[in-house]
Chains A and B, each alone.
Chain A
C-alpha cells in the first residue's frame, strides 16, 4: 500500500464527516455527533500516516532529500492545509466540547479536497527544482499553511457569528453573509461546469485554467453568458431570501455569540503572527537568498500583503477601537476571502513568480 491509498481514504472520510456534522447540526442527535467525531479522528490519523509515508516515499525514490517534508507543490500544500485545519478544529472541539463548529469548518476542508479532485492537479511526487531546495522556503510554506488554517477557523466562527447575530433581511451584516455565501455557491457551480466541460472536450495540451468560466460567464455565446449572470443573481437572491433558515438551525445550538467572537479573535491572534513571520518575512528571506530580491511586488506577494493589512485592520479595530461583534466578524470573513485569493486566485487568474504553485 502506498500513501495515495491512505490519502484517498482520508479524503472520503473528511467528506463523510462533513455530511455527518451537517446532519448532526440539523438533527442534533448525539449518536450522529459521536460518529462525526469518530470519522474525523480516524481520517485525521489516516492522513497523518499518509503524510509520513509520502515523506519516506519521496526520499526512497531519490527525488527528495530526507529533510524535505512533502509540502512543496499545490497538491501537497492543500493537503497540508486540510491537515492543519482539521487539527485546529479537533483541538477546539475537545476544548470547548461543542461539535456544531464542525458543520462550518469541515466544509472548508471538503472544498479544498473537492478543488484538488475537480482541477485534476498532479498528485505525483515531483523532484524539487533548485530554487525550492531551501530551509527558508520550508519554514515559509509550513507556517503559511498553519496560518491559513487558523484563518480558516476564524472564518468559520465569524460566519457562524454573523448568521446567529443578524435579525433583519435589510441589515448590512445579513446581506453581507448571504451574498458572500451566494457568490461562493455560484463560483463553485460555475467551476463545476467548467470541470465537466474540460473533461469532455479538452485536448492534451489544454489546462483547466483555459476553461475557467468558459462554460458560463465567458462563454462564446452571449445568450449563455447572459443567462449565467441572471442565474447567479437569482441564486444569490434565493440565498438572501431563505438565509434565515440557516440562522434557525444555528441558533438552536445556543452557542454564545461571545464565545464565537472570542474564538474568532483567538484564531486570528494565532494566525496573524504566524502569517507575518512565515508568510511575509520568511518568504522575503527565501526570495532574497534565491534571487537577491526580497520584495518585488509580484501578485502573490502583493496579495499576501493585502491579506496582512486586512487582518491588521481586524486587530487594530478590535483592540484599539473596541470594535466587537458584527463589524469585526465581517472583517474576519473578508480576510479569509483574501487568503483564498492569495492562495488560489492568484495562481488561477494572475501570473507571477510563484509559477511552480500553478495547476500542473
Chain B
C-alpha cells in the first residue's frame, strides 16, 4: 500500500519535473495568448460581435460569440483555464528546479578534486605536450602560467614525482538558471498578492479641494486613512505649441489634521504615502467652476504685488490710481485671420484674461493678457500685469494604487538580473594539468571543461600551451 502511494507521488513529481511539460506549456501559453490579443479584452459586447461578424458572417456571429464567451475568451487572462495554465507553469518551474537543484548545488559547493582516471574521458578539452625539465622544475612555471590565465591552482602529488595542478572559476554560473527560475516565482507571487490584497482605483481632485476617499473601478468609495489635497494643477507646453511637456499636480498629504507631506506629482514621478501610490493619470476642467485669477501686478515704480480676484472684480496697480477690472476669460485664446479672437479649446491650453483699465474713473485701455505670452503683460504705460494662473477650475485625475506585492515584483526583477547574468554571461570553467616524469622531460596533459562557450575556452587553453611550449623549446 505504502509502496503504491509512493509510486503515485513519484509519478506526479516526475510529471512536473519534466522538461517536456515545460516545452508543452510554453507553446500552450504562447498560442492561447494570441487569442486575447485579437479579441479585445473586457470590451463592450458589440465591439467583439462586430469583429466576429467579419469572420463568421452575420448569421453565425451570435452563436460564435456565445461559444467564445463560455470559453472565457472575452476576458481570457482571468479565465479558469488560463489561470490553470499559469499555475501548471509555476508548479513545473518550481518542481523541475527542486528536482535538479541538489545535484547542481553539490557541484558548486564541493571543492574541485584532482581528476580521476575514470573522469578523464568525460572532459571535453584535452591537450598534450612535453616540457623540458623534470616535474619538480616545471611546477612553478606551470603554476605561474595558470595564474596568468586567471586560475589560482591547488596541487596534489602522485607517485613517481608527478603531480596534478587543478583549478576552477565561475562555478556560481551553474546557479544562474535556478536563480532565474526563482525570480520568476517571486514575481508571480508578488502578482498574486497584488491581485488579492491590492487596490486599484482613481481620484479626481479639484484644485483647492481635499479627499479622504478614493474610488474603485466600479465607483465604490475606498477609505484611504488620510487626506490628500490638490494645491494646484498645471500643464506646461513645448515652446509655442500645444504639445504638452509636463503635467504637474501639487499635492499635500494631511494626517490627523497635520500636513505631513508635500509633493509635486508628474507622469513618471508618483506620490507614495501610507502604502498608496498616486499617479498623474488625466486632468480636465470642472464644469461651471468659479476660480481665482492670480495676477502679479507691478507698477512702473517697481513695487510688485500678487492679487487674487474673481471674474468681475477689480484691483489697483500699486503706486498709481489705475484700476483693472476682470471682464472675460478664455481657456484657450486664438486670433483668426481677420484679427478676431476666439476660444479654440475647452482645456486651458492658452489661458487669457480680458481686463479693462481705468484711471480715476476714466476708461484708459483694455485688452487680453495671456499667461503664455509675456509680451501681452506689459501695458501701454509701462505697468506690468502678469496672468500667473486661473486657479480652482481644473481637476487632476489621479490613479490610486495599493499593491502590497509590488516590492516582490521589483525584488524578483533584481534577482532575475543576477540570474540572467550568471546564466548567460558567465561560464563554469575547470582545468586540470597532469604532469608525469619522462626521463629528463615532463609529459603534460591539460584537461579542461566549460559549462558555456567551450570553443572560446579551448582557444585560451591552446594559447596557454603554445606559450609554455615556446618557452620550453629554447
Binding site for B on A (CB under 8 A): 62-63, 126-127, 129-131, 133-134, 262, 266, 269-270, 272-273, 276-277, 281, 284-286, 288-295, 297, 299, 302-303, 305-306, 309-310, 312-313, 316-317, 320-321, 346, 350
Contacts and interface: CB of A to CB of B under 8 A. Distances in A.
A279 to B, nearest CB: 12
B118 interface: no
B96 to A, nearest CB: 9
B268 to A, nearest CB: 4
Contacts of A277: 416-417, 420
B406 A312 contact: no
Contacts of B200: 292-293
Given A309-B29, A346-B37, A273 B420 contact: yes
Contacts of A131: 267-268
Given A129-B243, A297-B36, A350-B37, 18 more contacts: A129-B244, A130-B246, A276-B416, A277-B416, A281-B413, A284-B409, A289-B270, A290-B267, A290-B279, A292-B200, A292-B399, A293-B200, A294-B409, A299-B37, A305-B33, A309-B30, A313-B26, A316-B22
A306 B22 CA distance: 14
Contact of B41 (A284, A297, A303, A309): A297
A107 B238 CA distance: 39
A164 B403 CA distance: 53
Nearest to B412: A281
Contact of A289 (B268, B281, B409): B268
B148 interface: no
B42 to A, nearest CB: 10
Contacts of A299: 37
Interface of chain A, helix or strand or loop or mixed?
A: helix
A273 B419 CA distance: 9
A303 B37 contact: yes
30 contacts: A127-B238, A129-B243, A129-B244, A130-B266, A130-B267, A130-B280, A272-B424, A273-B420, A277-B416, A277-B417, A281-B417, A284-B413, A289-B269, A290-B267, A291-B279, A292-B277, A292-B399, A292-B401, A292-B403, A293-B200, A294-B406, A306-B34, A309-B29, A310-B26, A313-B23, A316-B22, A316-B23, A321-B20, A350-B37, A350-B38
A286 B200 CA distance: 17
B424 to A, nearest CB: 4
Contacts of A293: 200, 401
A304 to B, nearest CB: 10
Nearest to A314: B26
Contacts of B373: none
B425 interface: yes
B442 to A, nearest CB: 35
Contacts of A269: 424
A273 B425 contact: yes
A182 to B, nearest CB: 22
A285 B267 contact: no
A302 B243 contact: no
B245 interface: yes
Interface residues of B, number: 51
Nearest to B278: A292
Contacts of A281: 413, 416-417
Nearest to A127: B238
B33 A130 contact: no
B226 interface: no
B91 interface: no
A63 B266 CA distance: 18
Contact of A133 (B239, B243, B267, B420): B267
A62 B237 CA distance: 12
Contacts of A346: 37
Contacts of A266: 453
A285 B410 contact: yes
A316 B243 contact: no
Interface string B220-239: 00000000000000000011
B301 interface: no
Contacts of B22: 316
Contacts of B455: 262
Interface string B421-443: 10111000000000000000000
Contacts of A295: 191
Contacts of B425: 273
Looking at A281, A292, A312, the one whose CB has the most chain B CB atoms below 10 A away is: A292
Interface in B241-287: 241, 243-247, 266-270, 277, 279-281
Given A273-B425, A281-B413, A290 B268 contact: yes
Contacts of A129: 243-244
Given A131-B268, A302-B36, A285 B413 contact: yes
B77 interface: yes
B33 A302 contact: yes
A297 B243 contact: no
Contact of B270 (A276, A285, A292): A292
Contacts of A292: 200, 270, 277, 279, 399-401, 403
Nearest to A135: B268
A276 B420 contact: yes
A127 B413 contact: no
Nearest to B78: A297
B466 interface: no
A320 B77 CA distance: 29
Contacts of A321: 19-20, 23
Interface string B8-51: 00000000000110110011011001101110010000000000
Contacts of B34: 302, 306
A129 to B, nearest CB: 6
**Residue of B30, B241, B400, B401 with most chain A CB atoms under a 10 A cut-off:** B30
Contacts of B280: 130
Contacts of B423: 273
A286 B268 CA distance: 8
A34 B247 CA distance: 54
Given A273-B424, A285-B410, A310 B30 contact: yes
B281 A291 contact: yes
Given A130-B266, A299-B37, A302-B36, A288 B406 contact: yes
Contacts of A350: 37-38
A303 B270 CA distance: 28
A127 B244 CA distance: 9
A350 B269 CA distance: 29
Interface in B315-368: none
Nearest to A319: B177
